[in-house]
Structure 1
Amino acid sequence: MDGGWGGSGGTATGPGRSPGRDTGHDAARTGRRHGPLRTAFGGLTTRGRSFLAAGAAATVCAYLLGQGDLLRVGMLLAALPLVCVAVLHRTRHRVAASRRLTPSRVSARSEARVHLRLENVSRLPTGLLMLQDRVPYVLGPRPRFVLDRVEPGGRREVSYRIRSDLRGRYPLGPLQLRLTDPFGMVELTRSFSSYDLLTVVPLTEPLPPVRLGGDTGGWGEGRQRSLATAGEDDVIPRGYRRGDDLRRVHWRSTARHGELMVRREEQPRKPHCTVLLDTRRSAWTGSGPDSAFEWAVSGVASVAAHLLERGYAVRLLTDTGASVPGPDGGSLEGGSSDTAGLIMDTLAVVDHSGEPGLARAYEALRGGSGGGHEGLLVAFLGMTDEEQTVLACRMRQRADGAVALVPRGLRARSTEEEQQRLLSEAGWAVLPYTPAEPLPRLWRQAEVPGGAFGPPASGPKAGGPAGGPVDEPASG
């Protein structure tokens, strides 16, 4: 690097990096100048300024008193920091730095380790280096390291741990290095421009396997089946291949084509589930890791991970109508692991919304995959007024089975009981909770004998307080 020491920016990492991979690198070929010489003078330490002031004072006193020996001492004291400034300013260093996160996605209340590597790629050894990485205060204090002289081509590696009780996406960096002279007269600080992202996802808990409404597809003897539309079993009968079961021979096509043709085979339909998270700001009270909203976010993450492990096609839906993955909740080609990663990354940064109600979520359920019909619906609801409770009752008609988790202790007891009663009469399996309640024990209460809920109630039971039925609005 011409004229000084510094670092150039590297590329920042995104969600989805594999643990243990280098997620940021500052290139070794750095060519920025320090700037004017006065910038180097700005790096004088307290010691350097003291030497400079003492030398100037001694020089003035020697001139006034006519003391030659004192003049030489004063000039020496003043010259030493000036020489250090000039040498450090003219010294050419090229330094490369990289950062590695293990892992780059971590659960709340878990630790991650950050590995820093510094390499001197210049032909001159460096002086004493002080290394500091910038991290948000929620991850802990800023780590600082002191590195001794780094020889040409030498490397130094250091690491530190970070931990967060709050979910989120936190930037790490940029890395700052301070270069000093052997006498400690000058200290120059330069920063690399790259930073990396640490994703802290909500804490998940393993849930017990229970039989839920809407999970008949793909489970048990009575599972539904659908015709395969991809893979070896094409939409139309295909030619016979060695090893095919003769019981799959399609004789009518065989007679028409003059060769053996086998029919497509039925495959089990993958069960679907929509997990609804109510993020309305007016629906929750309190904040922090022990609040009811954070409990709900963690619960959504646990339920989504649990159902993905059971083979469900899961999508996350919020009151804003946003659906993950995809606008229609379609499964990703990468499978459940990619879906889980996308859902967790979304939950890591989800926040309160300004939506007045659940209308957009209801419209998303009506217009979703499957003609507006869901298999299983799991909803984490906040406080709802009379109108929103009725709308939630209508959502029940869009699903084969429905589980609603509602908070307790946020409003008057009579109001909460009325909300729970209306949801129960509409066919929801209502599970009231407090932030201190373990989700696995609560999840067991969602089990339904036979694995399916009864049909959604109709008539006065599914209606609002006035007793009128909650009819499905006619679609355009």
Structure 2
Amino acid sequence: MSAQAAPGQDRAPAPDASASGRTSGGLRAALAATTTRGRSFLAAGIAAVICSYVLGQSDLLRVGLLLAALPLVCALVLHRTRYRVAGSRRLSPARVPAGSESRVHLRLDNVSRLPTGLLMLQDRVPYVLGPRPRFVLDRVEPTGRREVSYRVRSDLRGRYPLGPLQLRLTDPFGMCELTRSFSAYDTLTVVPRTEALAPVRLAGETTGFGDGRHRALALAGEDDVLPREYRHGDDLRRVHWRSTAKYGELMVRREEQPQRAGCTVLLDTRADGYYGAGPDSAFEWAVSGAASAALHMLERGFSVRLLTDTGDSVPGPDALGGAQQSPESADAAGLMLDTLAVIDHSDGEDIAAAYDVLRSGHEGLLVAFLGELDDESAATVARMRQRTTAAVAFVMDGAAWAQDAEPSATDDHVRMLREAGWTALPVRPGQPLPDLWRQAEQHSSRIQGTKAGA
């Protein structure tokens, strides 16, 4: 680990590290920080002094004074200790899938010219990440450092703060213990688990940069070329001499600008559409499925947007429609995963807001992860197909997830979506997304075959 703090690293001196090293409250705080052993010695000393007065034993008086003075002297020495230390934290990695581990590296630097005594380093972590880590550090030499690490793991996605780092000072006899806190903290992001999906071909789908996806700016001959001014580094073979003579400055032909195929991943977050809670619930399956589908389409070169039933979209409503507007795949993937890490149920009862967003423009591929639908929501989802070139829906079977013996209307709603042109599949507990993804391709192939035969 380098001696320099990396970007995003928690590196901050303790509030008391710049001067005397005293905690707020001064000597009174030091006396209040005596340990059980220190209080026991103090009580025993006071009792011995009282007994010596009652019994008239001078030797017992000396013992009592020694017992009572020891914790007081330790508190005074610890109070006047002038340690100057700096702490740092580094997460490796700072973003992990649910169920995976991240390692937290801690470093303590003694920036003073005096050695430290016995130190205990403690980091504050949420209970879902595991027990609070504690490390006992022996004497740290002047300008020296100590490095320790621990692991954290969570089965629940979310954003979890780590810190602030706490440092406990204690005397060699264990009579007094002071706690000093650093100010900075880091955040561990636990994103949904993702699964690798096969590169299937869906009905109406075009590849991310396939044939017909390039928009040429000069298609009708030399007179229709749209030039631009010459920039440093441009190839001189692209100089357009006619425009150069016309404008009086060096002009070059524009390059063809590729148009990326668009894909919208729709995630239904309505609380009424899902049953259960926890890592194995239907909602977590849908969130994980949306993350897997988004990453898969980004890897295939698509411009991907994440849309929820509330109409909120990530990376934004203008993300689709061209390479100039689309963020880099790695940035888009990180943004979507960070959003899905903290996404929760909405209070909505329908998907009309998402339909309004899709209705405003012509979408490419639409992949939807839907909770249990009612008749009105199913009709709204069916109308979404009119604005897409291809549409795939994974619909949660509420009765199966709730382990209800009564049949649900999921099959009827899936049939309604298929009649509207969707590739729709019901989702039941225990069904992995990769298998359903391949089934979607088979269903889509049957639709293509039926249309070709007609």
Q: TM-score, normalised by structure 2?
A: 0.86
* Change in CA separation of 1:67 and 1:99 when aligned onto 2, cut-off 3 Å: same
- Map of 1:51-90 to 2, 5 A cutoff? 51-90=41-80
What is the CA distance between 1:126 and its match in structure 2? 1.8
Deviations 1:127-161 (A, max 9, x none): 21111111111111111111111122121110001
**In structure 1, what is the equivalent of residue 352 of structure 2?**
359
**In structure 2, what is the equivalent of residue 427 of structure 1?**
421
**Distance (Å, rounded) in 2 between the aligned partners of 1:193 and 1:142:** 18
Aligned: 1:442 with 2:436: yes
* Change in CA separation of 1:298 and 1:448 when aligned onto 2, cut-off 3 Å: same
What residue identity is the alignment partner of 1:91?
T
What is the CA distance between 1:333 and its match in structure 2? 5.9
- Map of 1:145-294 to 2, 5 A cutoff? 145-216=135-206, 218=208, 220=210, 222-227=211-216, 236-237=226-227, 244=237, 264=254, 266-294=256-284
**In structure 2, what is the equivalent of residue 470 of structure 1?**
none
Could you list the runs of 5+ residues in structure 2 that have no partner in the other structure? 219-223
Q: Is the partner of 1:209 in helix, strand or coil?
A: coil
Deviations 1:68-113 (A, max 9, x none): 1111111111111111111111111111100000011111111110
* CA RMSD, Structure 1 to Structure 2 (Å): 3.1
Aligned: 1:418 with 2:412: yes
275-284 or 414-423, which deviates more: 414-423
Which of 316, 320, 331 aligns to 2:306? It is: 316
* Change in CA separation of 1:312 and 1:42 when aligned onto 2, cut-off 3 Å: same
Q: Is the partner of 2:426 in helix, strand or coil?
A: strand
Which of 339, 352, 369 aligns to 1:346? It is: 339
Which of 79, 93, 115 aligns to 2:105? It is: 115
**In structure 1, what is the equivalent of residue 18 of structure 2?**
30
What residue identity is the alignment partner of 1:305?
L
**In structure 2, what is the equivalent of residue 12 of structure 1?**
none
* Change in CA separation of 1:39 and 1:396 when aligned onto 2, cut-off 3 Å: same
What residue identity is the alignment partner of 1:204?
T
What is the CA distance between 1:55 and its match in structure 2? 0.9
Aligned: 1:393 with 2:382: yes
Higher helix share: 2
Q: Is the partner of 2:435 in helix, strand or coil?
A: helix
**In structure 1, what is the equivalent of residue 221 of structure 2?**
none
**Distance (Å, rounded) in 2 between the aligned partners of 1:259 and 1:63:** 107
**Distance (Å, rounded) in 2 between the aligned partners of 1:166 and 1:323:** 23
396-405 or 208-217, which deviates more: 208-217
1:407/1:432 contact within 8 Å kept: yes
What is the CA distance between 1:255 and its match in structure 2? 9.6
**Distance (Å, rounded) in 2 between the aligned partners of 1:413 and 1:315:** 34
Q: Percent identity?
A: 65
What is the CA distance between 1:294 and its match in structure 2? 0.4
**Distance (Å, rounded) in 2 between the aligned partners of 1:245 and 1:78:** 91
Deviations 1:317-343 (A, max 9, x none): 001111100233357665111000100
61-70 or 283-292, which deviates more: 61-70
What residue identity is the alignment partner of 2:303?
A
Deviations 1:347-390 (A, max 9, x none): 000000101210111111123xxxx1101111000011111110
Could you list the runs of 5+ residues in structure 1 that have no partner in the other structure? 1-18, 458-476
124-133 or 89-98, which deviates more: 124-133
2:13/2:183 contact within 8 Å kept: no
What is the CA distance between 1:260 and its match in structure 2? 11
Provide the aligned length of Structure 1 versus Structure 2.
426
Which of 61, 82, 96 aligns to 1:92? It is: 82
**Distance (Å, rounded) in 2 between the aligned partners of 1:212 and 1:275:** 15
2:306/2:336 contact within 8 Å kept: yes
Q: Is the partner of 1:295 in helix, strand or coil?
A: helix
Q: Is the partner of 1:109 in helix, strand or coil?
A: coil
* Change in CA separation of 1:71 and 1:256 when aligned onto 2, cut-off 3 Å: closer
